[in-house]
């Protein structure tokens, strides 16, 4: 059964990843300048490629948001999302713990990633409950 919880999490992650992907793809230099990073052509290309990756992941989540997900159902999707958000969340958390003076956006990203990691962890380990249909009698 599709649950409201999985639909909300998949939709929210698709929107977040899609917006991030578009920004990274079309505004790489502006984003790098916000973090006081010297822009080089190879770095700009890597940021654009990262944007494509995020946008592709967003499309995957958007297209499967109403599918049955959890337990054995669509396991690759739940594993990929959990892995992405967990590893990135831990890296961000490690960064903000090591340097409390990081920009607020990094703190916000850490919080959002950890929340999504928890949500996708729940989806990954939870088996969706089958819908109960009344038995129909043949006439």
Task: Tell me what pLDDT residue 125 has.
Answer: 86
104-137 per-position pLDDT tens digit = 999 999 999 999 999 999 998 887 755 444 555 5
Phi-psi region of 74 (alpha: psi -120 to 50; beta: other; left: phi over 0): left
Task: Tell me what pLDDT residue 133 has.
Answer: 46
Helices (H), the chain: 4-26, 28-34, 41-64, 75-98, 104-125
* Residue position matching structure tokens 């909300």: 8
Burial class of 117 by CB neighbour count within 10 A (0 to 12, 13 to 18, 19+): buried
Task: Tell me what pLDDT residue 129 has.
Answer: 59
The domain ranges of the chain are 4-125
Rg of the chain over all Cα atoms, to the nearest angstrom? 19
41-99 per-position pLDDT tens digit = 999 999 999 999 999 999 999 999 999 887 778 899 999 999 999 999 999 999 999 99
Task: Tell me what pLDDT residue 136 has.
Answer: 53
Contacts for 115 with CB less than 8 Å, ≥ 6 apart: none
């Amino acid at each position: 059964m599709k649950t409201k919880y999985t639909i909300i999490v998949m939709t929210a992650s698709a929107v977040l990843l899609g917006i991030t992907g578009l920004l990274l793809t079309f505004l790489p230099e502006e984003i790098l300048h916000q973090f006081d990073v010297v822009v080089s052509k190879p770095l700009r290309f890597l940021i654009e490629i990262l944007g494509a990756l995020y946008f592709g992941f967003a499309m995957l989540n958007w297209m499967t948001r109403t599918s049955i997900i959890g337990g054995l159902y669509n396991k690759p999707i739940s594993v990929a999302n959990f892995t992405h958000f967990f590893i990135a969340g831990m890296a961000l958390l490690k960064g903000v713990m090591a340097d409390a003076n990081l920009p607020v956006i990094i703190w916000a990203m850490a919080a959002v990633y950890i929340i999504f990691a928890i949500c996708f962890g729940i989806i990954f380990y939870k088996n969706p409950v089958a819908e109960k249909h009344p038995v129909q009698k043949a006439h």
